[in-house]
A and B are shown apart, each in its own frame.
Chain A
């Protein structure tokens, strides 16, 4: 796995020869671009993970959770990177993701 690095170079002489991330996205959180936040209603969720598949970032994580005998994981929005595009809410077959306004 790439290191969690912030940009450490000082100039042309010690930087890589191309725009290459050295794991800087770990520290470079980009979720603050978002103005709508997806909220999953786990009561209605059918755990199909279509949202996970469609998230373009991808910022829906799959976390272990014993939901039922058959289902042992759930989708969790990673708000560090979610841009609030609403694709997950659009694609969810049971419409259990609500986009709520971010307040400062």
Chain B
């Protein structure tokens, strides 16, 4: 069924179609509509799930962990300060290898108080062991939730599906809401080998000495590596059943592209328009959207960027004292390649500043007219 819905409701319908059994969440702007709709669906019986009202995001993730540990499919959603408050428990969820799926709406941190989009909240969680998927349309938000459960439950790691505040969360787009019966075929009920079960008691997460902790960490890394192929494979399977394919990255007009613009989320959506315009002017430019940030698709980037003339990475986040996170990772992926292209790093759109086609064209112009990066990082549009 095709429907015009907001990004937040795409998250809710994704959770509903995935037959999430426990939802523990605390409302925060700009995520509120996600849980508003889910609590309504639970209350009127459209969803057979337990909705747990909690007193904080820390508790939301703790309750999700408890639910997931019993073998239930758990869902939650948050944003910004809420995600930061969850931080400790995010490490727990990944370390306990629980396949929780969460929606995070990118919102800038305070102070100063802000409710607009910026990726620093999710980027600050990159080392927790969670997988991170950055969606660039409402359709992708919904589809990514369903795909995420499939991946998470195979590799026993939690996944965060991330979308821009307002630009996506509150923007209405046409979304194909698939039939429950087809989703059920794609996503079978969750079976967990180790779970909280009084008939077969185990202790979980107990004190582990240095003789085995190291191996448990290696296992998380192995699972992250395994996820790369799994995301591609489950994305292909998704296409067979639903007609839409999702992988680690998205390429647009890349075949003969000499200059490659890399970005994520809705900046990448806008880039489609910009690339079309530049192509009309005869510029050989293409878009590489990084959809999955953890695990980071280093091999794909090396393959795709081989032989290109110039690469530019546009980040809507800043690791203070250094540069944007996607830029850092892209450079790192290419560092050991012989003759890799110059890589330009741009910061844009912090705190929800609009990244318009004109802003992106300015970035292209800098890259086109500069032979080799003249600065470590370019801040676009700062009023100096």
Interface residues of B in 216-250 (CB under 8 A from A): 216, 218-219, 222-223
Contact residues in B for A16 (Cβ distance below 8 Å): 193-194
A25 interface hit (Cβ, 8 Å): yes
Are A2 and B202 interface neighbours, CB within 8 A? Answer: yes
Please tell me if the beta carbons of A19 and B194 are within 8 angstroms of each other in the complex: no
Chain B residues closer than 8 Å to A25, beta-carbon distance:
203
B: residues with CB less than 8 A from A are 95-97, 156, 193-194, 200-206, 208, 212, 215-216, 218-219, 222-223
> Given A12, A18, A19, A22, which contacts B218 in the complex, CB threshold below 8 Å?
A12
In the assembled complex, A104 has its CB within 8 A of some CB on chain B? no
> DSSP class of A's interface residues: helix, strand, loop or mixed?
loop
- Within 1-31 of A, Cβ neighbours of B (below 8 Å) are at 1-2, 7, 11-12, 15-22, 25
We find that the number of chain A residues with CB closer than 8 angstroms to chain B is 14
Complex interface: chain A residues within 8 A of B218 (CB)? 12
The complex places the Cα of A19 from the Cα of B98 at a distance, in Å, of 12
Provide the residues of chain B in CB contact with A15, threshold 8 Å. 212, 215, 219
User: Are A18 and B96 within 8 A (Cβ)?
Assistant: yes
Can you identify 30 A-B contacts, CB atoms within 8 angstroms? A2-B200, A2-B201, A7-B212, A12-B215, A12-B219, A15-B219, A16-B193, A16-B194, A17-B156, A18-B95, A18-B96, A18-B97, A18-B156, A18-B194, A18-B204, A18-B205, A18-B216, A19-B95, A19-B205, A19-B206, A19-B212, A19-B216, A20-B202, A20-B203, A21-B202, A21-B203, A21-B204, A21-B206, A22-B202, A25-B203
Contact check, B201 vs A19: say whether CB atoms are below 8 A apart.
Answer: no
Q: How far is the CB of B213 from chain A (nearest CB, A)?
A: 8
Q: How far is the CB of B157 from chain A (nearest CB, A)?
A: 9
- A17–B156 Cα distance when bound, in Å, is 8
Min CB gap A65→B, angstroms: 27
Number of A-B pairs, beta carbon distance below 8 Å: 45
Residues of A within 8 A of B202 (CB): 2, 20-22
- For the complex formed, measure the closest distance between the CB of B262 and the CB atoms of chain A, giving whole angstroms: 33
Q: Which residues of A contact B (CB under 8 A)?
A: 1-2, 7, 11-12, 15-22, 25
Inter-subunit contact B223/A17 (CB<8 Å): yes
Q: Which residue of B lies closest to A11 (CB)?
A: B215
The smallest beta-carbon distance between B112 and chain A, in angstroms, is 41
Contact of A20 among B194, B219, B223 (CB under 8 A): B194
For A17, the chain B residues whose CB sits under 8 A away are: 97, 156, 194, 219, 223
Q: Which residue of A lies closest to B202 (CB)?
A: A20
Q: Specify which of A2, A11, A17 lies most central, judged by the most chain B CB atoms within 10 Å of its CB.
A: A17
Q: B223: which A residues are within 8 A, CB to CB?
A: 17
Find chain A residues with CB under 8 A from B95 CB: 18-19
Least distance between A76 CB and chain B CB atoms (Å) = 22
Which residues of chain B are within 8 angstroms of A21 by Cβ–Cβ distance?
202-204, 206
Residue of B nearest to A7 (CB): B212
Nearest-Cβ distance from residue A25 to partner chain B, whole angstroms: 7
User: In the complex, what's the smallest C-beta–C-beta distance from B93 to chain A, in angstroms?
Assistant: 11
Of the listed residues B95, B156, B208, B216, the one surrounded by the most CB atoms of chain A closer than 10 A to its CB is B216
Most buried by B among A20, A21, A25: A20
Question: Which residue of the partner chain B has the closest CB to A18?
Answer: B97
Question: Shortest distance in angstroms between B383's beta carbon and chain A's nearest beta carbon?
Answer: 50
- Min CB distance A72 to B, Å, is 26
Nearest opposing residue in chain A for B69, CB measure: A18
Inter-chain contacts of A11 with B (CB < 8 A): 215
Q: How far is the CA of A17 from the CA of B152 in the complex (A)?
A: 13
Additional A-B contacts beyond A12-B215, A15-B219, A20-B202 (14; CB < 8 A) = A2-B201, A12-B219, A15-B212, A16-B193, A16-B194, A17-B97, A17-B223, A18-B96, A18-B204, A18-B205, A19-B95, A19-B206, A21-B204, A21-B206
